[in-house]
A and B are shown apart, each in its own frame.
Chain A
Amino acid sequence: MFAPALALLASLLLCAPAQAGTVQVAVAANFTEPMKAIAADFERDTGNRVELSFGSTGKFYAQIKNGAPFDLFLSADEATPERLEREGGIVPGSRFTYAIGRLVLWSAQAGVVDDQGAVLKGNAFKAIAVANPKLAPYGAAAIQTLTKLGLLDQVQPKIVQGENIAQTYAFVATGNAELGFIALSQVWANGRIKSGSGWVVPDDLHAPIRQDAVLLARARDNNAAAALLAYLRSDTARAVIHSFGYGT
């Protein structure tokens, strides 16, 4: 009974390349698509296994503080990784900005959002979706943009809040909100907005949305995790990141 199972186990152990390992990565929801592509490339190139979890930054912070088995954390902001660093939860010196997010005002329908964002001034919409500015950097950037344009007071009563950028996207994609501020990466493909209509918000209307990555303390001896972190800075990965509309 046991012999075949043992043989299988032994062959599995022998087959595995010497340095191949597994990396558990917590990824901010807005970086879902690019990270899937990067992880696939990395697995193919190195033989390591990458397991991705997607979610919101605040939830990941709580989970990490309470022993979640993540090796790498790709945050949607810079404040949370900084906080983890202060608290001694990361491998010192591992923190860096892997992507700079871009904000877009988007509608699922063509012709709703013009390419100057004048639709905001026109005010002829019922609901505008914005990620919770307290929780999501894209939400904070959206509020900064509205403030800078002098339109916040006018638009405020029409704001519906998503708890993260993925839910905000759902509000707009289902048409329940005619338009909303989301991450460009959610609607960007092949150098253009892939459906509906949108206005890519100029960078000078809000503080840069820096997204930082850190190697978490438990991954101190995980070579695969360190390799993936280094891979994120490679030209190959950066090309992928740019192709989804992020800066680096």
Chain B
Amino acid sequence: MAADAGYAATWSAVALTLELAGLTTLILLLIGTPLAWWLARTRSWWKGPVGALVALPLVLPPSVLGFYLLVALGPAGPVGRITEALGLGLLPFTFAGLVVGSVLYSMPFVVQPIQNAFEAVGTRPLEVAATLRASPLDTFWSVLLPLARPGYLTATVMGFAHTVGEFGVVLMIGGNIPGKTRVMSVQIYDHVEALEYAQAHWLSAGMLVFAFVVLLALYLLNPTGQRRIGAGP
């Protein structure tokens, strides 16, 4: 009985984690592409500050990010006031809140590889495409995207894997609600705190193998691409 409940809880946490990581990666690819494009091409003074903002989660402890999200998304916080005025309610303790937190947390892991790839492609192929009268949209799909493929591969894998491994932020704004906000990393933490080391080992070993396989696949598939993850632009 208890073991069955344990397995159900574990699978629910795994499913929730995959859902969160998948959705976060998708959103990040969508908003990360124009952002990376702008960062790769702009000569604006804003490039520095915006690039620094994107990179912040690399250096900030997740507890700092989580704490400020809790305050900002709360009823007295600027974002919380907006979401309440829009009738969305408050984001902490909801799956949507976790998505918002994860998007911020994993942003550099998606934007930076794409930005690097765009910079590596340079302007020349795009100019050639333009002289051949390709529309900007056509250039994007037929020229830029294929050339930037290794960057997108790295971005997708790292965005996903990093979100799966997220802990501090989801702990802070999640509220540990089974099936809604209790993701794997939090479940593992709970097991360790409760001295349930057998369960903690199973899940932790699973995470370890997952992380290794993901990185190995990335290195095998992308031998010439961005090898060093987390390296700045």
Give the residue of A62, A162, A174 whose beta carbon is less than 8 angstroms from that of B192: A62
Give the residue of B73, B176, B193 whose beta carbon is less than 8 angstroms from that of A176: B73
Docked-complex contact B193 and A175, CB < 8 angstroms? no
B203 CB within 8 Å of chain A: no
State how many angstroms separate the Cβ of A84 from the closest Cβ of chain B.
11
Per the 8 Å Cβ criterion, residues 125-139 of A in contact with B are 126-127, 129, 132, 134-135
A199 CB within 8 Å of chain B: no
Per the 8 Å Cβ criterion, residues 143-163 of A in contact with B are 159-163
Docked-complex contact A160 and B176, CB < 8 angstroms? yes
With A and B bound together, what is the CA distance between A161 and B174 in angstroms? Answer: 8
A61 CB within 8 Å of chain B: yes
With A and B bound together, what is the CA distance between A198 and B177 in angstroms? Answer: 24
State how many angstroms separate the Cβ of A21 from the closest Cβ of chain B.
31
Give the residue of B76, B89, B194 whose beta carbon is less than 8 angstroms from that of A175: B76
Docked-complex contact A161 and B175, CB < 8 angstroms? yes
B190 CB within 8 Å of chain A: yes
Per the 8 Å Cβ criterion, residues 51-88 of A in contact with B are 56-59, 61-62, 83
Contacts of A62 in B (CB 8 A): 192, 195
Docked-complex contact B171 and A163, CB < 8 angstroms? yes
Contacts of A176 in B (CB 8 A): 70, 73-75, 90, 92-93
Contacts of A56 in B (CB 8 A): 193
With A and B bound together, what is the CA distance between A62 and B73 in angstroms? Answer: 33
Interface of A is mostly: mixed
Interface of B is mostly: loop
With A61-B195, A160-B93, A161-B177 known as contacts, the answer to whether A174 contacts B190 (CB < 8 A) is no
Give the residue of B89, B171, B190, B192 whose beta carbon is less than 8 angstroms from that of A167: B171
Docked-complex contact B176 and A175, CB < 8 angstroms? no
Minimal Cβ-Cβ distance residue in B for A127: B93
A170 CB within 8 Å of chain B: yes
Per the 8 Å Cβ criterion, residues 68-90 of B in contact with A are 70-71, 73-77, 89-90
Give the residue of B77, B92, B186, B192 whose beta carbon is less than 8 angstroms from that of A58: B192
A171 CB within 8 Å of chain B: yes
Interface residues contributed by chain B, number (CB under 8 Å): 24
Docked-complex contact A174 and B93, CB < 8 angstroms? no
Which of A62, A126, A129, A176 is the most central at the interface, judged by chain B CB atoms within 10 Å of its CB? A176
Minimal Cβ-Cβ distance residue in A for B176: A161
With A61-B195, A163-B193 known as contacts, the answer to whether A175 contacts B93 (CB < 8 A) is no
Contacts of A126 in B (CB 8 A): 89-90
With A127-B93, A175-B76, A176-B93 known as contacts, the answer to whether A163 contacts B176 (CB < 8 A) is yes
Contacts of B189 in A (CB 8 A): 163
State how many angstroms separate the Cβ of B87 from the closest Cβ of chain A.
14
With A127-B93, A174-B71 known as contacts, the answer to whether A58 contacts B176 (CB < 8 A) is no
Contacts of A127 in B (CB 8 A): 93, 175
Minimal Cβ-Cβ distance residue in B for A175: B75
Minimal Cβ-Cβ distance residue in B for A61: B195
Docked-complex contact A58 and B195, CB < 8 angstroms? yes
Docked-complex contact B75 and A58, CB < 8 angstroms? no
B13 CB within 8 Å of chain A: no
B172 CB within 8 Å of chain A: yes
Docked-complex contact B76 and A174, CB < 8 angstroms? yes
Minimal Cβ-Cβ distance residue in A for B175: A160
With A160-B175, A163-B176, A171-B175 known as contacts, the answer to whether A58 contacts B193 (CB < 8 A) is yes
Interchain residue pairs A-B with the least CB separation, the first 3: A160-B175, A58-B193, A161-B176
Further contacts, 19 of them, CB under 8 A, given A127-B93, A163-B189, A176-B75? A58-B193, A58-B195, A59-B193, A62-B192, A83-B195, A126-B90, A129-B175, A132-B190, A163-B171, A163-B186, A167-B171, A170-B67, A170-B70, A170-B172, A171-B175, A174-B70, A174-B74, A176-B74, A176-B90
6 A-B pairs within 8 Å (CB atoms) are namely: A126-B89, A161-B177, A163-B190, A174-B74, A175-B75, A176-B73
